[in-house]
Amino acid sequence: MGDLLGLIRRAEALKGKDRSFDLQVAHYFKRPWYCFTHNITRVVEITERELPGWRWIIDSDFDRGPPYAAQVKKRGDTWAEAPRVFAPTPAIALMLATLRALAASRSAQEQSGD
């Protein structure tokens, strides 16, 4: 999970498009290179492939800092249970929310012994 945590740290620091981060994402998820930091369609593909059946939302929340917020949650959980992340673009917000949800899911699986 070390690579995943490294991706989370990088995503948290992003200010906009970042080719180096995009290449890391492509390598980690074994996907062709795309501009994941700017192309929301490609981030949605990763979210839905890695967390099938999970729900996601992106919105703008100009009152709380960066302009875009995102959440990713398991079906059946409430939105209040899903951590809300903020980022400068919708794609980065969803990528960060997806990475955090994936890390939490994997951690829960490890703890339960699955």
Three-state DSSP state, 55 = strand
Confidence of residue 74 (pLDDT cuts 50, 70, 90): very high
Query: What's the pLDDT band for 60 if we cut at 50, 70, 90?
Result: confident
- Partner residues linked to 70 by β-bridges: 58, 85
Q: Which domain holds residue 98?
A: 2-112
Model pTM?
0.90
pLDDT greater than 80 at residue 1: no
60-65 long-range contacts, Cβ below 8 Å, gap at least 24? 61/86
Give, for 11, the enclosing helix (H) or strand (E): helix 2-13
Sign of the CA dihedral 31, 70, 35, 2? negative
pLDDT cut 70: percent of the chain above it: 91
Provide the CATH number for the domain around residue 6.
3.30.2120
